[in-house]
Amino acid sequence: MFSREWFIYVFGRWVLLSGIAGALVQFLFSDVLGVHTIPAFLLNQLLLGCVFWYVDKYIFQQHFGRVKAIFKFPRVKGKFDLNYQFNKISEEYHEFAGAFESSPQDPKMWLNQFLDLYHAVEMTERVLREKGIDVDREYYAIIKQNEKRGLYN
Protein backbone atom coordinates (compact mmCIF):
# COMPACT_ATOMS: atom_id res chain seq x y z
CA MET A 1 0.00 0.00 0.00
CA PHE A 2 2.72 2.48 0.91
CA SER A 3 4.45 2.51 -2.44
CA ARG A 4 6.33 5.34 -4.10
CA GLU A 5 3.22 6.07 -6.19
CA TRP A 6 1.13 6.26 -3.03
CA PHE A 7 3.42 8.86 -1.42
CA ILE A 8 3.55 10.94 -4.60
CA TYR A 9 -0.23 10.84 -4.89
CA VAL A 10 -0.97 11.55 -1.23
CA PHE A 11 1.59 14.29 -0.70
CA GLY A 12 1.82 15.67 -4.23
CA ARG A 13 -1.81 15.58 -5.23
CA TRP A 14 -3.67 15.83 -1.92
CA VAL A 15 -1.42 17.76 0.43
CA LEU A 16 0.32 20.11 -1.99
CA LEU A 17 -2.16 20.57 -4.83
CA SER A 18 -5.48 20.22 -3.01
CA GLY A 19 -4.29 21.67 0.28
CA ILE A 20 -2.61 24.73 -1.15
CA ALA A 21 -5.18 25.22 -3.91
CA GLY A 22 -8.01 24.80 -1.40
CA ALA A 23 -6.49 27.34 0.95
CA LEU A 24 -5.90 29.84 -1.86
CA VAL A 25 -9.39 29.43 -3.31
CA GLN A 26 -10.92 29.69 0.17
CA PHE A 27 -8.92 32.88 0.77
CA LEU A 28 -10.06 34.24 -2.59
CA PHE A 29 -13.75 33.54 -1.96
CA SER A 30 -13.82 34.49 1.73
CA ASP A 31 -11.35 37.30 2.18
CA VAL A 32 -11.06 38.86 -1.26
CA LEU A 33 -14.62 38.43 -2.55
CA GLY A 34 -16.29 38.58 0.88
CA VAL A 35 -18.34 35.39 0.56
CA HIS A 36 -19.36 33.94 3.94
CA THR A 37 -17.30 30.98 5.18
CA ILE A 38 -19.69 28.07 4.56
CA PRO A 39 -20.81 29.12 1.04
CA ALA A 40 -17.16 29.92 0.23
CA PHE A 41 -16.15 26.45 1.38
CA LEU A 42 -18.88 24.81 -0.72
CA LEU A 43 -17.89 26.83 -3.79
CA ASN A 44 -14.27 25.98 -3.06
CA GLN A 45 -15.05 22.24 -2.99
CA LEU A 46 -17.18 22.42 -6.13
CA LEU A 47 -14.50 24.28 -8.05
CA LEU A 48 -11.70 21.99 -6.88
CA GLY A 49 -13.82 18.91 -7.60
CA CYS A 50 -14.34 20.10 -11.17
CA VAL A 51 -10.62 20.74 -11.63
CA PHE A 52 -9.27 17.68 -9.83
CA TRP A 53 -11.60 15.30 -11.63
CA TYR A 54 -9.37 15.85 -14.67
CA VAL A 55 -6.17 15.87 -12.63
CA ASP A 56 -7.02 12.51 -11.03
CA LYS A 57 -8.11 11.12 -14.37
CA TYR A 58 -4.71 12.07 -15.78
CA ILE A 59 -2.81 10.71 -12.78
CA PHE A 60 -4.60 7.37 -12.88
CA GLN A 61 -4.76 7.03 -16.64
CA GLN A 62 -2.40 4.04 -16.58
CA HIS A 63 -4.42 2.43 -13.77
CA PHE A 64 -7.72 3.00 -15.60
CA GLY A 65 -6.17 1.32 -18.62
CA ARG A 66 -5.34 -1.73 -16.50
CA VAL A 67 -8.90 -1.96 -15.25
CA LYS A 68 -10.25 -1.83 -18.79
CA ALA A 69 -7.72 -4.47 -19.84
CA ILE A 70 -8.85 -6.94 -17.15
CA PHE A 71 -11.71 -8.22 -19.29
CA LYS A 72 -11.31 -8.73 -23.01
CA PHE A 73 -14.82 -10.09 -23.59
CA PRO A 74 -18.14 -8.40 -22.87
CA ARG A 75 -20.17 -9.77 -19.99
CA VAL A 76 -22.49 -12.59 -20.97
CA LYS A 77 -26.17 -11.88 -20.26
CA GLY A 78 -27.77 -13.75 -17.41
CA LYS A 79 -27.00 -14.78 -13.86
CA PHE A 80 -24.32 -17.38 -13.39
CA ASP A 81 -23.15 -19.25 -10.32
CA LEU A 82 -19.80 -20.84 -9.63
CA ASN A 83 -21.02 -24.40 -10.30
CA TYR A 84 -22.22 -23.36 -13.75
CA GLN A 85 -18.90 -21.64 -14.43
CA PHE A 86 -16.92 -24.68 -13.27
CA ASN A 87 -18.87 -26.89 -15.66
CA LYS A 88 -18.43 -24.34 -18.47
CA ILE A 89 -14.66 -24.19 -17.93
CA SER A 90 -14.51 -27.99 -17.91
CA GLU A 91 -16.53 -28.20 -21.13
CA GLU A 92 -14.43 -25.55 -22.88
CA TYR A 93 -11.20 -27.18 -21.70
CA HIS A 94 -12.18 -30.56 -23.16
CA GLU A 95 -13.07 -28.92 -26.48
CA PHE A 96 -9.75 -27.06 -26.48
CA ALA A 97 -7.76 -30.19 -25.53
CA GLY A 98 -9.38 -32.20 -28.33
CA ALA A 99 -8.69 -29.52 -30.95
CA PHE A 100 -5.12 -29.00 -29.68
CA GLU A 101 -4.25 -32.70 -29.64
CA SER A 102 -5.34 -33.12 -33.25
CA SER A 103 -3.00 -30.36 -34.44
CA PRO A 104 -0.75 -28.88 -31.73
CA GLN A 105 1.53 -27.00 -34.14
CA ASP A 106 -1.32 -25.24 -35.99
CA PRO A 107 -2.94 -22.58 -33.77
CA LYS A 108 -5.55 -21.86 -36.45
CA MET A 109 -7.02 -25.29 -35.68
CA TRP A 110 -7.47 -24.69 -31.91
CA LEU A 111 -7.31 -20.93 -31.33
CA ASN A 112 -11.10 -20.54 -31.24
CA GLN A 113 -11.45 -23.24 -28.59
CA PHE A 114 -8.59 -21.73 -26.60
CA LEU A 115 -10.30 -18.32 -26.61
CA ASP A 116 -13.62 -19.93 -25.62
CA LEU A 117 -11.80 -21.44 -22.63
CA TYR A 118 -10.25 -18.06 -21.82
CA HIS A 119 -13.71 -16.48 -22.04
CA ALA A 120 -15.14 -19.03 -19.60
CA VAL A 121 -12.30 -18.37 -17.13
CA GLU A 122 -12.78 -14.61 -17.52
CA MET A 123 -16.51 -14.98 -16.92
CA THR A 124 -15.76 -16.93 -13.75
CA GLU A 125 -13.61 -14.04 -12.55
CA ARG A 126 -16.51 -11.67 -13.23
CA VAL A 127 -18.86 -13.89 -11.21
CA LEU A 128 -16.36 -13.94 -8.33
CA ARG A 129 -16.00 -10.14 -8.43
CA GLU A 130 -19.79 -9.71 -8.56
CA LYS A 131 -20.04 -11.88 -5.44
CA GLY A 132 -17.60 -9.55 -3.66
CA ILE A 133 -14.60 -11.88 -3.75
CA ASP A 134 -11.27 -10.00 -3.60
CA VAL A 135 -9.71 -11.49 -6.72
CA ASP A 136 -7.01 -8.83 -6.84
CA ARG A 137 -5.69 -9.83 -3.40
CA GLU A 138 -5.29 -13.39 -4.64
CA TYR A 139 -3.53 -12.19 -7.81
CA TYR A 140 -1.15 -10.21 -5.64
CA ALA A 141 -0.46 -13.24 -3.40
CA ILE A 142 0.30 -15.41 -6.43
CA ILE A 143 2.63 -12.77 -7.87
CA LYS A 144 4.48 -12.51 -4.55
CA GLN A 145 4.84 -16.32 -4.37
CA ASN A 146 6.18 -16.46 -7.91
CA GLU A 147 8.58 -13.57 -7.27
CA LYS A 148 10.00 -15.47 -4.27
CA ARG A 149 10.51 -18.49 -6.55
CA GLY A 150 12.33 -16.28 -9.07
CA LEU A 151 9.84 -16.95 -11.88
CA TYR A 152 9.72 -13.37 -13.17
CA ASN A 153 12.37 -11.21 -14.82
Q: What is the pLDDT of residues 68-86, one digit of tens each?
A: 557 888 888 988 899 999 9
**What contacts 31, CB < 8 A, 6 or more positions away?**
none
pLDDT tens readout for residues 29-74: 898 999 898 988 898 888 888 887 877 777 776 665 555 557 888 8
Contact indicator for 85, 124 with CB cutoff of 8 Å: yes
Q: Where exactly does CATH 1.10.287 map onto the chain?
A: 72-148
What is the pLDDT at residue 113?
97
Q: How many helices (H) and strands (E) does the chain have?
A: 7, 0
Helix (H) or strand (E) holding 33: none
- What pLDDT, on the 0 to 100 scale, is given for residue 128? 93
Q: What is the pLDDT, as a whole number, of residue 69?
A: 58
CA distance 2 to 5: 8
* CATH T-level topology, domain 72-148: Helix Hairpins (1.10.287)
pTM across the whole model: 0.56
| Residue 71: Cβ-neighbour burial (10 angstroms; 0-12, 13-18, 19+) | middle
